[in-house]
Amino acid sequence: MMKPNEFLTSIYLGDRACKAIVLDGWKDEVKIQIDSISRVRGEHWDYYTDEDVDDGFLVFEGVDHVSFDPPGLIPNDAIGEIEFLGYKDDRFTVVIELTHGDEDSKYTTVRTTIRAKAVAIEKPGEEGARIRD
């Protein structure tokens, strides 16, 4: 199984959009639904689409912290940089730049901070078969 920082560098989310965010308090998970998730199997993405997961989820497991800056906006557009901040104890922290677009075409970056134990990709309807490497 890949380490979280390695796993996150193995996905491509450029030109992709955040469709939904699911906060599951009972499972301690944050699931970000993305219109398409691609895998990077070389040094660069290079338009590789054989393993694409359409409408898939980037799932953070064992979450004990999630925050949105600025608060109040629901991300619904482009996905920017994913910054891996490192480990503390048995969890890692990432900051994901998600975008909120309103009806007036005003776009705001929402820095989403998540502290979790693990990360995976989930195909719609296949929660029990998460992709971890």
For the entire predicted model, the pTM comes to 0.94
DSSP-derived secondary structure for 48-64: --TT-EEEEEEEEES--
**What is the mean pLDDT of the segment spanning 1-26?**
94
Predicted local confidence at residue 127, as pLDDT: 85
Residue 68 has pLDDT above 90, yes or no: yes
Strands annotated E in 46-128: 53-61, 65-69, 79-88, 91-101, 107-116, 118-122
pLDDT digits (tens, 9 = 90+) for 90-105: 999 999 999 999 999 9
Predicted local confidence at residue 47, as pLDDT: 81
DSSP type of residue 87: E
**What is the mean pLDDT of the segment spanning 98-117?**
97
Predicted local confidence at residue 45, as pLDDT: 81
